[in-house]
Amino acid sequence: MPRFPLVIAAFALGAAPAFAGSPDATGPNAPLIAPGQPDARTPALVFTLGLGAGFAPEYFGSDDYRVGPAGSFAFHSLNLGRLSLGDPDPRAERTGFGLRGSFRYIGERDTSEYSELTGLDDIDAAVELGLGVGYTTRNLDAFVVARRGFGGHEGVVGEAGFDVIARPSAALKLTAGPRLFWGNDSYADTYFGVDADEASADLAAFDAQGGLLSAGLEFGASYRIDDNWGLEGALRWDSFANDAEDSPIVRQGSADQWSISFGVTRVIRIGG
């Protein structure tokens, strides 16, 4: 099943801000798209890319863990002709309501690698893409997002949560808050269901239904080394609920899922 899904999710969601034109991004009630000729020195595109490593369950419900790659992406600004979106300063505070993108990658589940999953079908890697809304103040960030899967699953999932934000110093930012995760029937059956032709003495047939599938907590930290480089990390705990918790796949493993990730970030400026 998916390799390092929670690590990738944590980075993708935690690093994806409101598209940097949410209210108060550049002043009170700043518009998402602001017409006007940008300064010639303004970069055409500014974003932050993070690369690192993570420690997470080998598949949803596994009680074994592996180390793998992790990454993050945060959009800051885009300037094309008279179209100006966002703020080229990656340190700019973005407060108020705003749209935000959401991405998650779920690795394949190759059941030949796990003796406890013998008889289950393999699941291809999946990519989830979606949008959401968020509300941010200096000390709070709340969000709701929805994503649609492509590849290994074609279901619809949603996630909601909020973070309390602390800033012990100008360079260090700490976040902590709860997470709730939902999936529809298609998603739940893909990762937690056991079809009749897959059932065995160890894994009984199980028709997993959608709904609230997990709840948890996430703790994050980011440190700005200079204007270009930084460090970030996250610790996340999720506990499966409802049909995910009752799945034979989870019962033979663990309903508590932990993930840890750490990476280096670099602000990328293109053009200008």
pLDDT < 50: residue spans in the chain: 1-38
- For residue range 54-93, list pLDDT tens digits in order: 999 999 999 999 999 999 999 899 998 888 888 889 888 8
**Domains (range + CATH), the chain:** 5-270 (2.40.230)
Residue 105: name the closest of 135, 78, 122, 127 by CA: 127
Cα separation of the two ends of the chain: 44
Strand residue runs (E) in 27-169: 34-35, 45-57, 65-80, 83-86, 96-106, 126-136, 140-151, 156-166
| pLDDT the model gives residue 85 | 86
Whether residue 31 contacts residue 238, with contact meaning beta carbons closer than 8 Å, is answered with: no
| pLDDT the model gives residue 272 | 65
For the beta carbon of residue 271, count every other beta carbon within 10 angstroms: 11
| pLDDT the model gives residue 70 | 92
Q: What residues contact residue 46 under an 8 Å CB cut-off, 6+ apart? A: 76, 77, 78, 86, 88, 90, 267, 268, 269, 270
- Kindly report the pTM of this predicted structure: 0.82
- For residue range 83-124, list pLDDT tens digits in order: 888 888 988 888 999 999 999 999 999 999 999 999 999 999
Whether residue 41 contacts residue 272, with contact meaning beta carbons closer than 8 Å, is answered with: yes
| pLDDT the model gives residue 21 | 30
Torsional sign, CA 209, 199, 251, 152: negative
- How many angstroms separate the CA atoms of 88 and 47, rounded? 8
